[in-house]
Structure 1
Amino acid sequence: MKMASDCVRAMTGFWVVFLVLLRLSCSEGQMVPALFVFGDSIMDVGNNNDLPLSVARAILPYYGVDFPTKKPNGRFSNGKNCADFIAEKLGLPTSPPYLISNSSQSNSSSPFLTGVSFASGGAGIFDGTDEKLQQSIPLKDQVELYRGVHDDLVQHMGSSGAQKHVAKSLFLIGIGSNDIFDYAKSSDLRKQHTPQQYVDLMVSSLKDHLKRLYSYDARKFVFAGLAPIGCTPAHRVRNQNEPGECNEDTNSWCRMYNEALLAMMKGLKSELGDISYSYLDIYNVVLGFIQNPSAYGFTEVKAACCGLGDLRAQIPCLPISQLCSNRRDHVFWDLVHPTEATDRMLIDIVFRGSPQYTYPMGVQQLAAVET
């Protein structure tokens, strides 16, 4: 309501100029001015496409087969991902585009008014999670890229205008899976750190990055907790103790991280005072899909939709891969990523704030918080 009244008052002056701004940042039904996205391949909408050395790119068929363009576009999905669905529900005119496509626009106003995605497949909280894949944008660098976007907003809107604009916006963060993958496959890391020590280091590093975002006016955060990645087709097919079943060690580390993340955010709220946040319990939502698939319209919870070999998870999703005929009944799209159907249902559940799966509020409630 306050955003709408601000827009009305703005039109009393130089109405032609403000009409343009109104259409850009106060569209009918738009809950926040902008959405800034940080994370890994769960959130990536194309940043890796422009990293020349990266092989972690969703640029081959059948990626994007159910996207409106029907073409690969950098999303590690058959269609839209979590970031897309959150942007839609927030009423934003478009899903935040990836950084390079957004910054290349020619516009007299800032190209970042409604947000941008910094998310990068293979990225982690720690640097080097993509050591084998070669080149992603780790969280540290994503935050540094945001600083440049903030500078651009200040240049176009002034310091006070940018501060108000950013403070009302949402910062969506979904990262940590690749750090857990690293821990799972590295005997050296497991010798150096107990699981609890490792996730505590992850959360401590994340906290430092959040404080940096805070120093550049970020006030409202949406945190996507880790899914039960031990249940992904890739981890099932590698489970030597119980072939085809979830890897419970990996899942336990995900739960440890989620608990540590939630405790850190509670502490950061006490420390900083003027931040607000929504924690999304992705783990238990997705586990519900896996344990009770018929209740959500799924029939296949173990195998990937696109791939080859056992559970279609021994060879990645390539043009030579087998493709399931009905993507809507699969929880998983490829070795480790969910289908569009999974992400759509997931966001439907957490957006409005089911007390069972969000804390202390849902995304919709967070968007309405005054700053």
Structure 2
Amino acid sequence: MAINTFINGGPNITLFVCILMLITKLPVGLCNAQSVVPALYMLGDSLVDVGNNNYLPLSIAKANFPHNGVDYRDAKFTGRFSNGENAADFIAKKMGLQTSPPYLSLVNGATPPITGVSFASGGSGILNETGQNYVEYISLAHQVDYLSMVHDKLVQQLGPSTAKMHLSKSIFTIVIGSNDLLVYFSPGSSIINISTPQQYIERMLSSYKGLLKTLYGLGARKVVVTGAAAIGCCPVQRKTSRTGECNVETNYWSNKYNDGLKIMLQELKSESVGLNFAYFDLYGAMIDLFRKAQNYGFTNIKEACCGLGNLNADAPCIPTSRYCPNRRDHVFWDLFHPTESAASIFSDFIYNGTQEYMVPINLKQLIDI
């Protein structure tokens, strides 16, 4: 079969890579014949962290203890900020892949699996300083640096042309931005004295564009980008209201950032030959979920399942916290993060949602390009 058939044949690239792995004696066990893409590379924050922060000794943004993971396999706490699986797991499953392992779990320079790696880190943001309150974290810029190292190893493994083909068919998912906004609007934030919300958002977008250009230079051609959440509706923000309502100002600026992000992505696509985006309107999906909670099976949209105090949002989910007996009826697991059930719904939107939430295409359509 001609090489250009593989290049243009969508999922056939996986077969080609599997054959190549047999010939070159690369780790065949990492190749999933049922996958629809060769690899999933995950970047972002705690919404998709699958354990990178476990390997950061000084980080205080960790979830590798109970009650996290209470609904995970064998009730295992893995470093996911969830009662079970998170969006990274669900997205991988939809593509027939195993969850991409944490990059920092690859000890002693081990060869990264050819099916992808996760660089996501709890507390991370677009701006390098966003996670500084958590002492140790992997900023988005640092995640891109790690991806560059994986790129170099792929070139060594597969050769330049096959590595380029592999990356062009792979999916790069980026879930980031909410922490930057939460830091700005946190009580006592000093950033407010340095820049206006609009200036801060413009700085976020400028930094993000530069990092996306770097990703493009490393071979990324199919990118899923998630907008900022309706962060004013997280329990930690709701608790500032006597009635537990969403923080209107915080949500307003989340929306403004998302508007700017969509424009920036359109500009970048026009400047970058072969680059395609699938943008997920997480903000809109969250608001819809709140309005139609019962349709989705939720009865509690305000309170964290695991925590202490007002709306269970006065303390994070730690071993001494209490947690709700039925996680399925809660949207939020802790102060910030969705339950496994809510993450599953958002992942469904990403994979095959309509243009109400996925612009201009969904993940399934992105894969087929």
Regarding TM over 0.5, the answer is yes
> Is residue 10–residue 18 contact of structure 1 (8 Å, CA) maintained in 2?
no
- 1:149 is matched with 150
Structure 2 residue aligned with 1:217: 219
Q: What does 1:220-369 align with in structure 2 at a 5 Å threshold?
A: 220-239=222-241, 242-369=242-369
Matching residue's letter, 1:50: Y
Cα pair distance change 1:194/1:52, threshold 3 Å? same
Q: Where in structure 2 are the equivalents of 1:88-127 lying within 5 Å? A: 88-92=93-97, 94-102=98-106, 110-127=111-128
CA distance in 1, matches of 2:257, 2:294: 29
| CA deviation map 1:252-282 (0-9, x unaligned) | 1110111111110000010112100100111
Question: Percentage identity across aligned positions?
Answer: 44
Distance 2:108 2:349 in 1: 35
Report the alpha carbon displacement of residue 192 of structure 1 after superposing the two structures with TM.
2.8
CA shift, 1:345, in A, is 1.1
Aligned residue for 1:171, secondary structure, equals strand
Pairwise CA distance, 1:130: 2.1
Alignment of 1:179-194 (within 5 A): 179-185=180-186, 187-194=189-196
1:33 to 38, 42, 59: 38
Write the distance in 2 (CA, Å) between the matches of 1:56 and 1:15.
Answer: 37
Q: Which of 62, 65, 68 is the equivalent residue of 2:67?
A: 62
How much does 1:133 deviate? 1.7
Partner of 2:5: none
Amino acid at match of 2:261: L
2: CA distance, partners of 1:67 / 1:14: 35
Distance (Å, rounded) in 2 between the aligned partners of 1:150 and 1:116: 11
Unaligned runs of 5+ in 2: 1-7
Secondary structure, aligned partner of 1:115:
coil
CA distance in 1 between partners of 2:13 and 2:237 (Å): 50
Match of 2:55 in 1: 50
User: Would the alpha carbon gap of residues 26 and 209 (structure 1) be closer, same or farther in structure 2, given more than 3 Å must change?
Assistant: same
Alignment-mate amino acid for residue 96 of structure 1 = S
**CA distance change for structure 1 residues 99 and 187 in 2, over 3 Å: closer, same or farther?**
closer
CA distance in 2, matches of 1:9, 1:72: 36
CA distance in structure 2 between the partners assigned to 1:368 and 1:156 by the alignment: 26
Distance, in Å, in 2 between the alignment partners of 1:15 and 1:319 is: 44
1:157 and 1:187 map into 2 onto residues whose CA distance is 48
Cα-to-partner distance string for 1:258-309 (whole Å, 9 max, x where unaligned): 1111110000010112100100111111111112210110000000000111
Gaps of 5+ in 1: none
Q: Contact 2:69–2:83 at 8 Å: present in 1 too?
A: yes
Shift of residue 105, structure 1, vs aligned partner: 8.3
Output the CA distance in 1 between the equivalents of 2:134 and 2:272.
37
- 2:18 paired with 1:17: no
Q: Is the 8 A contact 1:53 1:135 kept in 2?
A: yes
Q: Is the 8 A contact 1:173 1:224 kept in 2?
A: yes
What letter corresponds to residue 33 of structure 2 in structure 1? S
Q: Partners of 2:334 and 2:36 in 1: how far apart? A: 33
- Listed one character per residue, the Cα deviations across residues 215-264 of structure 1 (whole Å, up to 9, x for unaligned) are 1111111011111111011011124xx54111011111110111111110
Does residue 183 of structure 2 align to residue 176 of structure 1? no
- State the distance in 2 between where 1:73 and 1:15 align: 30
Residue 87 to residue 105, structure 1, CA distance change in 2 (3 Å): farther
Q: Please name the residue that 1:206 is paired with.
A: 208
Match of 1:130, SS state, is helix
Report what 2:83 is aligned to.
78
Q: How many residues align?
A: 361
Q: Compare 15-24 and 201-210 and name the one that shifted more.
A: 15-24
| CA distance in 2 between partners of 1:15 and 1:129 (Å) | 40
Q: CA deviation at 1:21?
A: 7.4
- The 1:157/1:19 distance shift into structure 2, 3 A limit, reads closer
1:179-227 per-position Cα deviation (integer Å, ceiling 9, x unaligned): 1011102553223322222111101100000111111111111011111
Letter in structure 2 aligned against 1:223? V
In 2, Cα distance between the equivalents of 1:233 and 1:166? 38
SS at match of 1:162: helix
Q: Determine whether 1:159 maps to 2:160.
A: yes
**Counterparts of 1:254 and 1:134, CA distance in 2:** 25
Distance 1:103 1:160, change over 3 A: farther
C-alpha separation in 2, matches of 1:8 and 1:321: 48
Q: Cα gap change, 1:164/1:16 in structure 2, threshold over 3 Å: closer, same or farther?
A: closer
Q: 1:302 to 1:14 in 2, by over 3 A?
A: closer
Q: In 2, distance between residues paired with 1:71 and 1:236?
A: 30
* Residues 289-339 of structure 1: per-residue CA shift (max 9 Å, x gap): 112210110000000000111111112111111110100000000011000
Residues 180 and 330 (structure 1), Cα distance of their counterparts in 2 relative to 1, 3 Å cut: same
Deviations 1:77-112 (A, max 9, x none): 0111111111000111x1001002245586xxx433
Assess, with a 3 A threshold, how the Cα gap between structure 1 residues 118 and 209 changes in structure 2: closer, same or farther: same
- C-alpha displacement of 1:23: 6.3
- Contact (CA 8 Å) 1:232, 1:246: kept in 2 or not? yes
